[in-house]
Amino acid sequence: MSGPRASRTCSGSDEASNFRSPLGTRLREPLTQARFQQQFGGPEQDPELPEEPSLPWLCRLWSSLVRACSWPGAWRLLLARLPPLRWLPRYRWRAWLLGDAVAGVTVGVVHVPQGMAFALLTSVPPVFGLYTSFFPVLIYSLLGTGRHLSTGTFAVLSLMTGSAVERLVPEPLAGNLSGHEREQLEAQRVGAAAAMAFASGALLLGMFALQLGVLSTFLSEPVVKALTSGAALHVLVSQLPSLLGLSLPRQIGYFSLFKTLAAVLTALPQSSPAEMTISALSLALLVPVKELNVRFRDRLPTPIPGEVVMVLLASVLCFTSSLDTRYNVQVVGLLPGGFPQPLLPDLADLHRILADSLPIALVTFAVSTSLASIYADKYSYTVDPNQELLAHGVSNLISSLFSCFPNSATLATTSLLVDAGGNTQLAGLFSCVVVMSVVLWLRHFFYYLPKAVLACINITSMRQMFFQMQELPRLWHVSRMDFSVWMVTWVAVVTLNVDLGLAVGVVFSMMMVVCRTQRVQCLVLGLAEGTELYRPLRESHKLLQVPGLCILSYPTPLYFGTRGQLRHNLEWHLRLGERGKESAKPGGLPGAVAEPVRVVILDFSGVTFADAAGAREVAQLASRCQDAGIYLLLAQCNALVLETLTRAGLLDTVTPGQLFVSVQDAAAHALERLELSGPKICTVWV
């Protein structure tokens, strides 16, 4: 008997007792595919209008639009595209309103310092971080399906946008810009950041139009977590000059992290003692408060707003001590009042903007969808990935008209929203009220806020991303493949840059999936004594094999990349190149001769799809088996695979009577052909 290992076999009718049927059963005849369809019917066909195939495609499109524009169709479309129409009528005002209000105000209070901090990371003035913490949050509350998702400024996107802005609008090499020149440079950078938000929003809307929400399945959890963890390290290093009071040009391109470290170490003797002291005191307050919020989240009624306390203390200290004039400490300065007028961004360099906006759009979609799915699974509701594309696309597109930079869901504020008791998207409206109050009436209180404090807020907001590395030992224990994907993505993000690291991670993740299909082994099945169950021989040494019968299970898709593996496995197990030659039985005595295979059963239950190359390979192997005198049976082919095999010419060699609905049916037919008394196919009485 063929196979990679010796196993227990049975021969002749004397061992019929080895194939006893289970008790309480009713015997039946083996079912082929044709007989199964005669008794139970074929697959149900979708109802179609008889004249539909003959209509031109424009007519069919018009008819579908007419059906969608009917009153019921329009209402269904409105419900799908405006989620508040679904959840607002079912809103539990007494149970949820207080939690949404407290959570919204808490998140809004944190949005103010974080928005200004991430604006500096984007290389734009701090006030534009407040705008980005208002408009996108308002729009997502109306269009998003993530009930616990908090949107706004996100450190990873700010880092990617800032690098692109520095490349599109570089600072003159001469330096020492006048006040007017500095204003012009900032205006150009604000325009570039808004143009990138416009382009990324347009790309997300294009993905929505093509219904590409399914792409979220290709962004695996190791890729997303490694991306955000590596980007957090970039944020930490990029904030070192602000922590130390150094005026250094921003490093962009490949190996920018190491270039920034080298520049900081070189300029370390010129650090500002005052700003270093402010940074040390800020970190000494913010880090313990973050830990307290995490460790006592169940006991605290609402998280401690450490960022707000730090902003107030630092502003009062700088004002009373005149740190900005006495020690040249950089402060935020006067924030302009009100919101900007809507203005279309300058798209003159659209080709360069699109190249940088594509990875930003992908990161927006990946982080937002994965974060929304995590909390949707936790609180038992569903998230529509295509609607998320629409929500974030419209959010970026419209907010870009108000000089906002790219935005997405944020890890820190989403966790804060959940811990503070948020229940629905209504919390976002309360957050917008807080930010609007700061922009309209409270902006003067941030004049003396040191920029070093904002850098500390940037660093401490990365806490969750840094602690994602704690999952690596567990990931190594669960899956070495996923661990490899995590490490390769993280190394690529850290050494190269965020957008290229994302591309490397996605490509490597898909390569690992392909490699897994290449490494799948063809399993030899044996019979469990006293049952009609066939299991892989390597699972137990007590499984039985019938002389002359070989049952092979191929648990992988059959396509151009795996057809060679299928051919090699069948040639080895069936010895197609050794027919007529005496060969020693594997694992047997030197003089033993393996009994040739007369019947082979291919279990295709694990073949989810087959392409043309794989189907032609099966047809050719069937022809080779026929020439070698081997009777081939196929079991448990799904309808699509069977249709592909039929079109490839399988039925020129194999008859419909050789196609069975299960391995048990095929084995019963094979035993009859081998004239052995075997297990009858039975139905268990319940």
- pLDDT tens-digit series, residues 564-611: 888 888 888 888 765 544 444 443 334 334 578 888 999 998 888 899
What does the pLDDT average to over 454-464? 85
Place of tokens 């990873």: 156
Helix (H, G, I), strand (E, B), or coil: what is residue 299? Answer: coil
In order, the DSSP letters of 361-400 are: HHHHHHHHHHHHHHHHHHTT----HHHHHHHHHHHHHHHH
Comparing CA positions, the residue from 224, 244, 242 lying closest to residue 232 is 224
Q: What percent of the chain has pLDDT over 90?
A: 24
- Taking the C-alpha atoms of residue 573 and residue 553, their distance in angstroms, rounded to an integer, is 12
Comparing CA positions, the residue from 221, 291, 248 lying closest to residue 485 is 221
- Taking the C-alpha atoms of residue 115 and residue 376, their distance in angstroms, rounded to an integer, is 26
- Taking the C-alpha atoms of residue 256 and residue 495, their distance in angstroms, rounded to an integer, is 8
Backbone angles phi, psi at 310, to 5 degrees: -65, -40
Q: Residue 232: which residues within 8 A CB-CB, separation 6 or more?
A: 155, 156, 462, 465, 466
Asked whether the predicted pLDDT for residue 335 surpasses 60, the reply is: yes
Confidence of residue 43 (pLDDT cuts 50, 70, 90): low
Residue 628 vs residue 69, higher pLDDT = 628
What does the pLDDT average to over 504-531? 82
pLDDT of residue 681: 45
Tens digits of residue pLDDT in 127-137: 999 999 999 99
Confidence of residue 246 (pLDDT cuts 50, 70, 90): confident
- Taking the C-alpha atoms of residue 576 and residue 624, their distance in angstroms, rounded to an integer, is 8
> Residue 26: how many CB atoms within 10 A of its CB?
11
Asked whether the predicted pLDDT for residue 7 surpasses 80, the reply is: no
> Residue 233: how many CB atoms within 10 A of its CB?
17
- Taking the C-alpha atoms of residue 310 and residue 287, their distance in angstroms, rounded to an integer, is 11
Between CA 170 and CA 175, with CA 174 as vertex, the angle to 5 degrees is 70
> Residue 506: how many CB atoms within 10 A of its CB?
20
Comparing CA positions, the residue from 226, 79, 58 lying closest to residue 143 is 79
> Residue 117: how many CB atoms within 10 A of its CB?
28
Instruction: Write out the H or E segment, with its range, that includes residue 305.
Output: none
What does the pLDDT average to over 445-464? 86
In order, the DSSP letters of 423-475 are: -STHHHHHHHHHHHHIIIIIGGGGTT-BHHHHHHHHHHTTHHHHGGGGGHHHH
Q: Residue 251 in contact with residue 263, Cβ under 8 Å? A: yes
Helix (H, G, I), strand (E, B), or coil: what is residue 342? Answer: coil
pLDDT of residue 514: 83
Mean pLDDT, rounded, of the chain: 82
- Taking the C-alpha atoms of residue 107 and residue 127, their distance in angstroms, rounded to an integer, is 18
What does the pLDDT average to over 58-68? 59
Q: Residue 497: which residues within 8 A CB-CB, separation 6 or more?
A: 163, 234, 253, 254, 256
Taking CA atoms, 146 is separated from 213, 419, 501, in Å, by 15, 16, 27
Tokens of 204: 């997300």
Asked whether the predicted pLDDT for residue 266 surpasses 50, the reply is: yes
Asked whether the predicted pLDDT for residue 521 surpasses 80, the reply is: no
Of 58-67, 100-109, 274-283, the poorest mean pLDDT is in 58-67
pLDDT of residue 361: 92
pLDDT of residue 686: 27
pLDDT of residue 201: 95
Tokens of 397: 């597109």
Asked whether the predicted pLDDT for residue 50 surpasses 50, the reply is: no
Asked whether the predicted pLDDT for residue 645 surpasses 50, the reply is: yes
Helix (H, G, I), strand (E, B), or coil: what is residue 140? Answer: helix
Tens digits of residue pLDDT in 119-177: 988 999 999 999 999 999 999 999 999 998 999 998 889 988 998 998 888 887 766 67
Residue 14 vs residue 671, higher pLDDT = 671
Tokens of 70: 């009917």
What does the pLDDT average to over 475-486? 92
Asked whether the predicted pLDDT for residue 5 surpasses 80, the reply is: no
Q: Residue 579 in contact with residue 597, Cβ under 8 Å? A: no
Alpha helices for 401-425 (secondary structure H)? 411-419
Confidence of residue 11 (pLDDT cuts 50, 70, 90): very low
Asked whether the predicted pLDDT for residue 16 surpasses 70, the reply is: no
Asked whether the predicted pLDDT for residue 323 surpasses 90, the reply is: no
- Taking the C-alpha atoms of residue 682 and residue 390, their distance in angstroms, rounded to an integer, is 53
Q: Residue 121 in contact with residue 158, Cβ under 8 Å? A: yes
Residue 71 vs residue 293, higher pLDDT = 293
Alpha helices for 267-302 (secondary structure H)? 273-295
pLDDT of residue 276: 92
Q: Residue 303 in contact with residue 420, Cβ under 8 Å? A: yes
Between CA 288 and CA 296, with CA 290 as vertex, the angle to 5 degrees is 95
pLDDT of residue 598: 87
pLDDT of residue 8: 46
pLDDT of residue 508: 93
- pTM > 0.85: yes or no: no
What does the pLDDT average to over 514-543? 78
- Taking the C-alpha atoms of residue 403 and residue 195, their distance in angstroms, rounded to an integer, is 9
